[in-house]
């Protein structure tokens, strides 16, 4: 099932299917290792539900929900 | 003796600066890259009697040209051609850190790896086959632990050997970017090579790659040097772009990134084995984060921490600050005793010593604050604060990290905008940083408070706490609203992407924290010291010249002589006391006359028709003009302007009584004055620091904009209050 990172639940895992951001945002996202095929896990959300903390390639990064909207993922497994 | 020149480079949080500190120790200094606020850190060390110069490049994730840090890193590599780039990588996160390594290799610069955090690698159950990695990458790799210094000898030795072996030659790495990009890349490289575009700086294939990636800096250079070639290349890239979008629904630069990561993954498959799947364990950082970024506990703890930090800075800072003040007071007394009365004495005491003393008085504050900031930053908590607060600050066009400068500037009443503006360094987003710097000085700093206390004491003594609280609240509202206004007008533009790493928690090293603190403090002393001295003398002159003319001077002298004669002939203590009072009053009247006669005084009187709209008479004007030097000056100048002599900031009861009785002052004036003092021009030390952190243009903008805004609001409040009260 495809959705944006914003709609993933806490601790849910997914694989990146496509990234629609270009320009500076696109570059930042790529430089931090978010490219097609990368597996990610939602590890936290800020107290006000935004930004979101994502684990990938052994480290954690944060992005705002409106930035996460550019990243489409497919869910890997249902949350335990 | 051979001299070697190494450049340390790597992602932020790779431990690059820690490694640099361990290797160079105290043999380092910080400068600036021309025109921008990125630090240039350089240091030296010796190996077997040979000197090694090291430049610590700013941390960056990539070698594109989006941020100042990346541009600087690239410029140093190309312009200065270091013998070798020592690429410091976090060996537990090789996959991402090698992304930068690959870009160094594509550029062709000689590079080697420092596999840092090898202790974590072992404890995380990761095995790295260094031999294999070296072979596949074609460069040496040495394991290090920057925090303990383990491996630094071997690193330096390998670096020097490899630098000698490469002897400054560049060998660009060629990676395949797949059937869509490769043909165009070949074609463009050919065109570039033929035209010899930028041939002494970059390899042709790299230039072609940057063109496809849409690198503004390179494309701009290409357009200037070879407009026709550039146009042709851009047209072809546009075709590729459309093709990629149509067939693959992606961008060429994204394809390039995909292939780079693919290259890295293939490489790591051979050399890195993870024996323990990382998801099976919840490491310490995750556990700490469950508490520190918890929905309820997180923000609560953060508020407590911010308050504690603020409290520590200003209570701990008080003693050394007082010491500095007493030292300069002593110095001023000494100078006054040695030098004969007159202009020179006045210049040295009121101009030079007071000015320099005022600047150095902030040093203890800056030192303590930067120890705390370095600790918060190095430990990883700063990133969490930004993460938790981002939503709030973003709605005003700011960034989660803006909280620090605001708090320190006086977001909790009593701060200081000088270290506050300097704390904006932690913001990596240029627009948000500028908006933060411009609005932080609205906060009620420690020097504005005596003015508020004076006015509150005189007119609102029964609502002390309430007025003080609304003043602080008003400062926050104004700072955030003005930030919003600036970000939607003159600093308009998309917010900088927040995409940011949450680094693992680490205990900062003492050396790192101290070096960071000293760098900032020294920079402040150096930069502020020179400019501040000049401005301080200028303001002194404005409040001194032109002096009273000869006739007036004579009048005062003759009155004084007359009084002194009467004093010598006075018999009863009561008579004597009366004459003493008269003498003192005479001195105050003379002080007032001189102030009124000076340039600042004349300006104050000249402005009265205008400022009366806000309820300020000329006496208030002079004090407010003096306040641009330092807000502490407002109360003391007001004392002189009400011919009370220099009034002590901490004891203003007589001044309070005077103001209460003055028909020019009432509650409406008090409200207007509080608003004006809160918002008008930052003191000149702050202005100098603002110029240093942004530019003189922006600092002068703050000076005029803030004063105008303050005046308009003060007028509105005054006129409104007159109607209501």
Domains of chain A: 2-75 (2.30.30.90)
What are the b/e assignments for B692-719, b being 16+ CB within 10 Å?
Answer: bbbeeebbebbbebbbebbbebbbebbe
Of B401-405, B463-467, B644-648, the range with the highest mean pLDDT is B401-405
Compute the count of residue pairs across chains A and B with CB atoms less than 8 Å apart. 121
Which pLDDT score is estimated for B219?
A: 94
List the alpha helices (DSSP H) in chain A: 23-31, 65-68
Nearest to B209 by CA among B187, B224, B226: B187
Give the tokens for residue B411: 């977001």
CA nearest to B256 within chain A:
A30
Lowest mean pLDDT among B162-166, B193-197, B497-501, B702-706: B497-501
Which pLDDT score is estimated for B535?
A: 76
Best of A2, A28, A45, A53 to mutate (most B CBs within 10 Å, chain B): A28
CA B75 distance to own-chain centroid: 23
What are the b/e assignments for B138-176, b being 16+ CB within 10 Å?
Answer: ebbbbbbbbbebebbeebbebbbebbeebeeeeebbebe
Residue with token string 């209501």: B724
DSSP classification of residue B424: G
Is the pLDDT higher at B264 or at B26? B264
B93, B254, B498 member nearest A26 (Cβ): B254
Contacting residues for B59 by C-beta, under 8 A, at least 6 apart: B10, B11, B12, B13, B14, B16, B17, B69
pLDDT tens, position by position, B122-160: 888 889 999 999 999 999 999 999 999 999 999 999 999
B283 touches chain A (CB under 8 A): no
CA nearest to A63 within chain B:
B499
Of B97-101, B300-304, B447-451, B492-496, the range with the highest mean pLDDT is B97-101
A28, A37, A58 member nearest B93 (Cβ): A58
For residues B4 and B100, give the distance between their C-alpha atoms in angstroms, rounded to a whole number: 23
Best of B497, B501, B503, B505 to mutate (most A CBs within 10 Å, chain A): B497
Whether residue B26 is preceded by a cis peptide bond, meaning omega within 30 degrees of 0, is no
For residues B472 and B411, give the distance between their C-alpha atoms in angstroms, rounded to a whole number: 7
For residues B614 and B365, give the distance between their C-alpha atoms in angstroms, rounded to a whole number: 35
pLDDT tens, position by position, B54-99: 999 988 999 887 788 888 899 999 999 999 999 999 999 999 999 9
Check: CB of residue B513 under 8 Å from CB of residue B371: yes
Are β-strands A52-56 and A39-45 bridged in parallel, bridged antiparallel, or unpaired?
antiparallel
pLDDT tens, position by position, B444-456: 988 888 888 889 8
For residues A24 and B66, give the distance between their C-alpha atoms in angstroms, rounded to a whole number: 7
B279 touches chain A (CB under 8 A): yes
Best of A11, A17, A57 to mutate (most B CBs within 10 Å, chain B): A57
B556 touches chain A (CB under 8 A): no
**B36: pLDDT strictly greater than 70:** no
**B204: pLDDT strictly greater than 90:** yes
Lowest mean pLDDT among B247-251, B340-344, B456-460, B713-717: B340-344
**B463: pLDDT strictly greater than 90:** no
What are the b/e assignments for B347-367, b being 16+ CB within 10 Å?
Answer: bbbbbbbbbbbbbbbbbbbbb
How many residues would you count in chain A? 80
Between chains, do A31 and B99 touch, taking CB under 8 Å as contact?
yes
Which pLDDT score is estimated for B649?
A: 57
For residues B56 and A52, give the distance between their C-alpha atoms in angstroms, rounded to a whole number: 32
Mean pLDDT of A42-70: 92
- Neighbouring CB atoms inside 10 A of B194's CB total 10
Which pLDDT score is estimated for B652?
A: 64
**B520: pLDDT strictly greater than 90:** no
**B690: pLDDT strictly greater than 60:** yes
Mean pLDDT of chain B: 88
Which pLDDT score is estimated for B35?
A: 62
- Neighbouring CB atoms inside 10 A of B179's CB total 7
In angstroms and rounded to an integer, the radius of gyration of the C-alpha atoms of chain A is 11
DSSP classification of residue A22: -
Give the tokens for residue B651: 């004891």
Question: How far A12 CA sits from the closest chain B CA (Å)?
Answer: 12
Question: How far B124 CA sits from the closest chain A CA (Å)?
Answer: 11
CA distances (Å), origin B563, targets B256, B341, B443, B577, B614: 91, 21, 48, 12, 41
Nearest to B58 by CA among B31, B46, B40: B40
B259 touches chain A (CB under 8 A): no
Mean pLDDT of B227-244: 95
Mean pLDDT of B233-262: 93
Q: How confident is the model at residue B280 (pLDDT cuts 50, 70, 90)?
A: very low
Check: CB of residue B114 under 8 Å from CB of residue B88: yes
**B544: pLDDT strictly greater than 50:** yes
Q: What is the percentage of chain B residues whose pLDDT exceeds 70?
A: 96
Lowest mean pLDDT among B44-53, B201-210, B442-451: B442-451
What was the ipTM of the complex prediction?
Answer: 0.94
């Amino acid at each position: 099932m495809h959705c944006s990172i914003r709609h993933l639940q806490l601790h849910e895992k997914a694989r990146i299917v496509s990234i629609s951001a270009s320009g500076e945002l696109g570059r930042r996202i790529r430089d931090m290792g978010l490219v097609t095929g990368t597996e990610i896990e939602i590890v936290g959300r800020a107290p006000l539900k935004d930004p979101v903390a994502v684990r990938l390639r052994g480290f954690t990064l944060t992005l705002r929900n409106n930035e996460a909207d550019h990243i489409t993922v497919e869910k890997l497994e249902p949350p335990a | 003796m051979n001299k070697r020149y190494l450049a340390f480079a790597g992602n932020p949080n790779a431990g690059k600066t820690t490694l640099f500190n361990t290797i160079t120790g105290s043999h380092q200094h910080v400068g600036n890259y021309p025109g921008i606020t990125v630090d240039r850190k350089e240091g030296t060390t010796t190996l077997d009697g040979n000197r090694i110069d090291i430049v610590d490049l700013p941390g960056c994730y990539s070698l594109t040209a989006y941020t100042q840090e990346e541009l600087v890193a690239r410029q140093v590599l190309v312009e200065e051609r270091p013998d070798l780039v020592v690429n410091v990588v976090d060996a537990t996160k090789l996959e991402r850190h090698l992304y930068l390594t690959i870009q160094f290799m594509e550029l062709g610069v000689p590079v080697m790896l420092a596999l840092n955090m090898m202790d974590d690698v072992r404890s995380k159950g990761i095995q790295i086959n260094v031999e294999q990695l070296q072979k596949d990458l074609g460069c040496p790799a040495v394991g290090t632990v920057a925090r303990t210094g383990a491996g630094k000898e071997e690193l330096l030795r390998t670096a020097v050997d490899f630098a000698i072996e490469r002897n400054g030659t560049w060998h660009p790495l060629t990676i395949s970017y797949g059937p869509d990009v490769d043909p165009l890349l070949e074609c463009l490289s050919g065109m570039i090579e033929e035209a010899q575009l930028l041939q002494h700086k970059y390899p042709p294939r790299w230039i072609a790659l940057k063109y496809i990636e849409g690198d503004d800096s390179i494309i701009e250079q290409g357009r200037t040097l070879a407009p026709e070639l550039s146009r042709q290349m851009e047209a072809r890239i546009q075709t590729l772009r459309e093709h990629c979008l149509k067939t693959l629904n992606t961008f060429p630069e994204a394809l390039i990134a995909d292939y780079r990561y693919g290259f890295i993954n293939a490489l790591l498959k051979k050399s890195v084995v993870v024996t323990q799947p990382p998801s099976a364990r919840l490491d310490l950082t995750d556990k700490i984060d469950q508490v520190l970024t918890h929905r309820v506990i997180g923000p609560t703890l953060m508020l407590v921490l911010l308050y504690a930090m603020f409290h520590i800075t200003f209570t701990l800072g008080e003693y050394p600050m007082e010491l500095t003040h007493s030292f300069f007071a002593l110095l001023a007394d000494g100078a006054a005793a040695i030098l004969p009365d007159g202009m020179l004495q006045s210049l040295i005491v009121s101009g030079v010593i007071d000015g320099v003393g005022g600047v150095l008085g902030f040093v203890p504050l800056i030192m303590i604050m930067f120890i705390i900031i370095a600790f918060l930053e190095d430990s990883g908590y700063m990133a969490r604060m930004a993460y938790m607060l981002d939503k709030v600050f973003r709605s005003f066009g700011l960034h989660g990290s803006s909280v620090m400068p605001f708090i320190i500037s006086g977001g909790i009443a009593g701060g200081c905008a000088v270290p506050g503006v300097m704390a904006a360094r932690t913001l990596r987003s240029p627009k948000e940083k500028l908006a933060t710097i411009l609005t932080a000085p609205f906060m009620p700093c420690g020097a504005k408070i005596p003015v508020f206390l004076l006015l509150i004491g005189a007119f609102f003594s029964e609502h002390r706490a309430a007025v003080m609280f609304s003043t602080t609240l008003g400062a926050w509202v104004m700072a955030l609203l003005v930030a919003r206004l600036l970000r939607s007008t003159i600093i308009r533009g998309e917010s900088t992407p927040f995409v940011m790493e949450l680094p693992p928690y680490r205990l900062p090293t003492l050396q790192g924290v101290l070096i960071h603190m000293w760098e900032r403090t020294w920079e402040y002393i150096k930069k502020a010291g020179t400019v501040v001295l000049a401005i301080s003398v200028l303001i002194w002159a404005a409040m001194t010249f032109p002096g009273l003319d000869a006739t007036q001077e004579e009048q005062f002298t003759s009155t004084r002589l007359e009084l002194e004669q009467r004093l010598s002939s006075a018999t009863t203590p009561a008579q004597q006391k009366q004459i003493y009072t008269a003498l003192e009053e005479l001195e105050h009247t003379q002080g007032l006359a001189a102030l009124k006669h000076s340039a600042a005084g004349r300006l104050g009187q000249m402005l009265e028709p205008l400022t009366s709209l806000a309820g300020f008479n000329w006496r208030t004007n002079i004090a407010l003009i003096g306040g641009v030097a330092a807000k502490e000056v407002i109360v003391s100048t007001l004392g002189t302007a009400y011919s009370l002599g220099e009034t002590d900031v901490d004891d203003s009861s007589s001044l309070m009584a005077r103001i209460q009785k003055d028909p020019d002052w009432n509650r409406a004036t008090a409200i207007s004055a509080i608003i004006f003092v809160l918002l008008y021009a930052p003191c000149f030390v702050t202005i100098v620091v603002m110029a240093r952190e942004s530019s003189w243009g922006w600092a002068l903008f703050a000076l005029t904009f803030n004063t105008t805004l303050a005046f308009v609001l003060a007028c509105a409040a005054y006129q409104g209050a007159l109607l209501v009260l």
